[in-house]
Amino acid sequence: MSDTPARSGLTPYINLDGVAKALDFYTTAFGGVERARNQMGSDTRIIHGQIDINGAPLFLSDFYPEHGFPVVPPQGYNLHLQVDDAQQWWDRAVAAGCTVVSPLKTEFWGDIYGQLKDPFGVTWAIGETKGH
């Protein structure tokens, strides 16, 4: 397991196809700091990975159909990053290979907000509070 425990009250734990590549991608796209990359024996899949992004932990695991975790696409959620400079975070993620789902713009509630999809199918929202 990780030698760096989760420090927040809620830590997302997601299953992806290709966690080793995702950890590398999230380091580049979101300035992540990898904390754990654990395998089971000679199996190349990652049973537990941790990367800290924007000061918060994200736990990841490859799919293990033989243990009840079948391969399914990411669905029904997004990972939201509330940051001080949305444009900088956005540009870095797009340059790394994220695709635009909803363009980064000032929304009706006054904040800057947009959504991206990473190469693993996960939707990320980037937001910046303005004038609050």
DSSP string, 33-80: EEEEEEE-TT--SEEEEEEEETTEEEEEEE-BGGGTB------S--EE
Please report, as a single letter, which amino acid is at residue 71: V
β pairing state of 13-16 and 46-53: unpaired
Number of domains in the chain: 2
- The answer as to whether 87 is a domain residue is yes
- Enumerate residues 6+ apart whose C-beta is below 8 A from 77: 12, 123
Q: How confident is the model at residue 132 (pLDDT cuts 50, 70, 90)?
A: low
Residues 20 and 59 in one domain: yes
- The answer as to whether 60 is a domain residue is yes
Residues 30 and 52 in one domain: yes
Helix (H, G, I), strand (E, B) or coil at 13: strand
Helix%, strand%, coil% for the chain, nearest 5: 20, 40, 40
Helical (H) or strand (E) element with 94: helix 86-96
- The answer as to whether 70 is a domain residue is no
Residue 98 structure tokens: 């994220």
Question: Whole-prediction pTM value?
Answer: 0.91
Residues 83 and 58 in one domain: no
CATH number, domain containing residue 106: 3.10.180.10
The span from the CA of 103 to the CA of 72, in Å, is 26
Residues 83 and 120 in one domain: yes
pLDDT digits (tens, 9 = 90+) for 79-118: 999 999 999 999 999 999 999 999 999 999 999 999 999 9
Residues 61 and 84 in one domain: no
Q: Using the 3D structure, point to which of 65, 88, 106 is the last residue of a domain.
A: 65
What's the domain range around 45? 13-65
Residues 61 and 100 in one domain: no
**Residue-level pLDDT at 7:** 66
Residues 61 and 18 in one domain: yes
Residues 19 and 56 in one domain: yes
**Residue-level pLDDT at 3:** 52
**Residue-level pLDDT at 9:** 81
pLDDT digits (tens, 9 = 90+) for 4-40: 555 678 999 999 999 999 999 999 999 999 999 999 8
Cα end-to-end distance, the chain, whole Å: 40
pLDDT for 2 beyond 90? no
Instruction: Give the rounded percent of residues in the chain with a pLDDT score beyond 90.
Output: 88
